[in-house]
Amino acid sequence: MRLQRLTVWAAPLVAVTSAITLPASTLGTDLLAAKGLINLAVNGIEKAFKGQQGSCTLANVAVRKEWGMLSNSERKSYSDAVLCLMSKPSKTNPSDASGAKSRYDDFVWIHIMQTLEIHGTANFLSWHRWFVYVFEKALRDEWNWGRWANDPANSPLFDGSAYSMSGNGDYQAHGCTNALPTNLNCIPAGQGGGCVTNGPFKNMTVNLGPVVVTLSGIPELVPNNGSIWNPRCLRRDISSWVSQRWSTDAISTSLINDNPDIYWFQTVMQGDFANGDFGVHTAGHFTFGGDPGGDIFASPGDPMFWLHHAQIDRTWWIWQNQDLKNRQNAISGTLTLGNFPPTRNGTLDDLIDLGVSAAPVTIRSLMSTTEGPLCYIYL
């Protein structure tokens, strides 16, 4: 059986792949990324000739790199920055979320609050692009973190060393996990399920959630809106069963190549739950799973969230760059998850608001990673 590279990729400037070195023929997204970079460069040259080139160019752009391309010191600098953010006091009004204790929790809370408005909607891709970017900015501001940037359990990302994102949870007997609220599948129990006890996040405290309980042994709270203080350990149940079915490079390549329309690109990425297809988005979350990673609302509470959603952004970025003229500003969908309750179609002029972490911006300003407030590319 041919091994495929995992595409639960990227974080603010970093990414995850398996530890296995594969031939270029299996790295479809890398080839598409290279093609897209050429298109992006040509587009920049054309704008320069027309006097339309902005301050962000391919000469000064930040490069988001794969985790495996970073040195140990760079990896540790990233995890140290995340831990630093967790040590800073929250800016969230306690009357809104009494459980938000840190700057890190501010990001978790805004995601909890807006979950039903930022998934399966017109702003899903742009909202999360801005969310990851603002989180990255917070890391730089608080820690002065620099702009350098198929078995997931055996990836250097999860090896539990000081240069990883910590490993699996300790083994704790548990049943299957349901990918709630979809009830998509009974995900077989993995070799984790308990607290993470190694690596940079071994002493991490999860403060908010859960809103949706996906792992046995996690108490439901009242009120169950994720806002009250519920201190507990970070738990994971890393699942090769999920990653090997829905999170391979071949699947991401097919997603980009076979869906030239933004509606179908987003729809296939999100998953076809009725027919038992997680899609690369849902699959990424349930590759590390656990608590709070398996909770659609509180999932940013696991630091792996940022790596996964930068991969989602990279996949969209590659898709856009294949045909900039027709895809750069392509948007589809309404303003509510599954259009329930029914709402109007989203537009490029709709605002994205991250509360205490950033001033509102338009979707239009986020459609390019080299224009507007953004200035980065992926390799």
pLDDT of residue 111: 98
CA distance 214 to 208: 15
pLDDT of 264 above 70: yes
Q: Please, are residues 108 and 227 in contact by the beta-carbon 8 Å criterion? A: no
Q: Over the stretch 18-63, which tens digit does the pLDDT of each residue have? A: 322 334 445 789 999 999 999 998 988 888 777 777 889 888 999 9
Say what the pLDDT of residue 16 is: 33
Q: What is the pLDDT of residues 307-345, one digit of tens each?
A: 999 999 999 999 999 999 999 999 999 999 889 999 999
pLDDT in tens, 134-190: 999 999 887 765 432 256 666 778 899 999 999 999 999 988 888 766 667 788 999
Global pTM reads: 0.90
> In this structure, what token pair is assigned to residue 340?
């329930």
154 in Cβ contact with 238 (< 8 Å): no
Residue corresponding to tokens 């996949």: 315
Least confident of 105-119, 146-160, 187-201: 146-160
Contact of 166 with 202, CB cutoff 8 Å: yes
Is residue 300 very low, low, confident or very high in pLDDT (cuts 50, 70, 90)?
very high
3-state helix, strand, coil in the chain (%, to 5): 40, 10, 50
Identify the pLDDT of residue 149: 28
Question: CA-to-CA distance for 221 and 227, rounded, in angstroms?
Answer: 10
Q: CB–CB of 235/190 below 8 Å?
A: no
* Closest-CA residue to 127 (of 378, 342, 337): 337
- 362 pLDDT exceeds 90? yes
355 or 177: whose pLDDT is higher?
A: 355
Helical ranges in 210-261 per DSSP H: 240-246, 249-257
Q: Are 276 and 178 in contact (CB under 8 A)?
A: no
Mean pLDDT taken over the chain: 86
Q: How high is the pLDDT of residue 154?
A: 66
Q: Distance between terminal CA atoms of the chain?
A: 27
| pLDDT band at 213; cut points 50, 70, 90 | confident
Task: Count other C-beta atoms under 10 Å from residue 358's C-beta.
Answer: 18
What DSSP string describes 10-46? -BTTB----S----GGG-HHHHHHHHHHHHHHHHHHH
> Fold for domain 26-40+78-378?
di-copper center containing domain from catechol oxidase (1.10.1280)
Asked if 377 contacts 36 with a C-beta cutoff of 8 angstroms, the reply is no
Q: What does the buried/exposed string (b/e) look like for 243-260 if buried means 16 or more CB atoms within 10 Å of the residue's CB?
A: bbebbbbebbbebbeebe
Give percent of the chain with pLDDT exceeding 70: 88
